[in-house]
Structure 1
């Protein structure tokens, strides 16, 4: 597990599983000749995408950013289509940190697509139940509404199994919500209508978790939007805004999906000045 301190916050990346999705879909209209120089791709044109929650320990709270791919939540067909090579080890990683699933106080959900939300529920005695029974789950209100009432397109990624068991644990907000001093969730739309980023502003350092409007370091260019985005032009504008903010404030950018880096810091010109590498994957691709 990789860890780092950013001001008064400690961040630890937990193993939430891994997918392999089509590189063309992940980079939209950008030609493979360009994006493949920045991110590795296999012979099936798939790129490795982690689904690793970040354990954020701050002010006596144990907070998770997103929840991982979960366990036994997908069919064999979905496993093949999404290139799932491993499922969640969040419980065992927490145990290694002398924590349990019951010790999680808050889960900040950037959005509720299956690869972020499957880890919210788990099989217990043959029924699905909250994975983190004592946690408040913060979700943007538009996102929560679409999760419960998906349209013909979003029904493929908003699954009933991921929301019904946790309905009483969910707390919604509109534009933004402060989780604790300096830590807030901010609605951006873009990737999904209710997509949010997470911003931490400490006394000396800060970080921005851009979630899926910048899922990997290779998506730094504001124009490189995903084909999966419901509102790609919004993604572009929001990314441009928050990249400018991060450059100006020397913020760290943290990642849930990136298979190469856990976090990166840029200077005012957008050049990398520091980074935290992810340990190599242990499975065969």
Structure 2
């Protein structure tokens, strides 16, 4: 399991599953000869996208950023359409750290698309149950409103089985929320109307968890946004602001979907890598 010591915190990446999505959709209007130089693509034009939550262990808290795709929810049609080649094994990952799902006290949801929220619930007979029953689940108010009332476009990714069983655990905010000192959720919009990034600060160091504003290291260019984005120009402007801020101040960038890199740090130009934590694939 990949880990990183960040001030007084310990960071761990959990086994949340793997999807394989269309590369063209993941890079929007960017021509394939450009993006394929930066990220591997298979013969089906799919790119591998992990969905591996970040666990933050403080002195007295166990916090998850997003929850993976979940397990036991996908028929063969959904697995094919979403390129799901691995379902989540969150409980196994936690057991390696001598933790259980009951030890998770906080889940920070950057947004609630199926590949981020799927791991919050699990099949329980004919119904769904909460996977992290002791956790407070934080999401932007905009995101929470939309998952409960999806529109003709968003209903393809906002599924009732992913939120009904946890609705009493959810707390919302509008623009910004300090979950605890050094951990702040910031509403950006763009990918979804309620999308957020997460800013982590310890001992003068900063990690920006960009979620789907920058799903992989290959999406560094502010103009390289997803065809999946509901509000692409909002993504461009938010990404331009945060990437510039991160490069100018030497921040780490961390990724939820990158199959190659967990975190990366660039110089001010964004052309030279000055720090990197590579991803170690999970084994069965």
Which TM-score applies when normalising by structure 1?
A: 0.97
Asked if 1:264 is matched to 2:273, the reply is no
Aligned to 1:227: 227
Take 2:216 and 2:233, find their aligned partners in 1: how far apart are those partners?
A: 18
Q: Is the 8 A contact 2:15 2:282 kept in 1?
A: no
Q: CA deviation at 1:282?
A: 4.8
Report 1:93-172 matches (<5 A).
93-172=93-172
Q: Secondary structure at the match of 1:77?
A: helix
Please give the per-residue CA displacement for 1:235-269, whole angstroms capped at 9, x wherever unaligned: 01111111111112211111110000011011222
Please give the per-residue CA displacement for 1:194-250, whole angstroms capped at 9, x wherever unaligned: 000000122221100000010000000000000000011110111111111111221
Q: CA deviation at 1:155?
A: 0.4
Take 1:70 and 1:176, find their aligned partners in 2: how far apart are those partners?
A: 27
Aligned to 1:184: 184
Aligned to 2:275: 274
Q: Secondary structure at the match of 1:64?
A: strand
Question: Taking structure 1 as reference, are residues 95 and 72 closer, same or farther at Cα in structure 2, changes over 3 Å only?
Answer: same
Q: Secondary structure at the match of 1:227?
A: coil
Q: Secondary structure at the match of 1:178?
A: strand
Q: CA deviation at 1:125?
A: 4.4
Q: Is the 8 A contact 1:6 1:207 kept in 2?
A: no
Q: Is the 8 A contact 1:139 1:171 kept in 2?
A: yes
Report 1:1-285 matches (<5 A).
1-270=1-270, 271-280=272-281, 282=283
Q: Is the 8 A contact 1:6 1:206 kept in 2?
A: no
Q: Is the 8 A contact 1:65 1:110 kept in 2?
A: yes
Which TM-score applies when normalising by structure 2?
A: 0.97
Q: CA deviation at 1:191?
A: 0.2
Between 51-60 and 222-231, report the one with greater CA deviation. 51-60
Q: CA deviation at 1:281?
A: 5.8
Gaps of 5+ in 1: none
Q: Secondary structure at the match of 2:200?
A: strand
CA RMSD, Structure 1 to Structure 2 (Å) = 1.1
Q: CA deviation at 1:126?
A: 4.4
Between 200-209 and 118-127, report the one with greater CA deviation. 118-127
Q: CA deviation at 1:59?
A: 4.0
Q: Secondary structure at the match of 1:128?
A: strand
Q: CA deviation at 1:89?
A: 0.7
Take 1:169 and 1:277, find their aligned partners in 2: how far apart are those partners?
A: 34
Take 1:160 and 1:125, find their aligned partners in 2: how far apart are those partners?
A: 16
Gaps of 5+ in 2: none
Q: CA deviation at 1:57?
A: 1.0
| 4+ residue segments displaced more than 6 Å | none
Q: Secondary structure at the match of 1:99?
A: coil
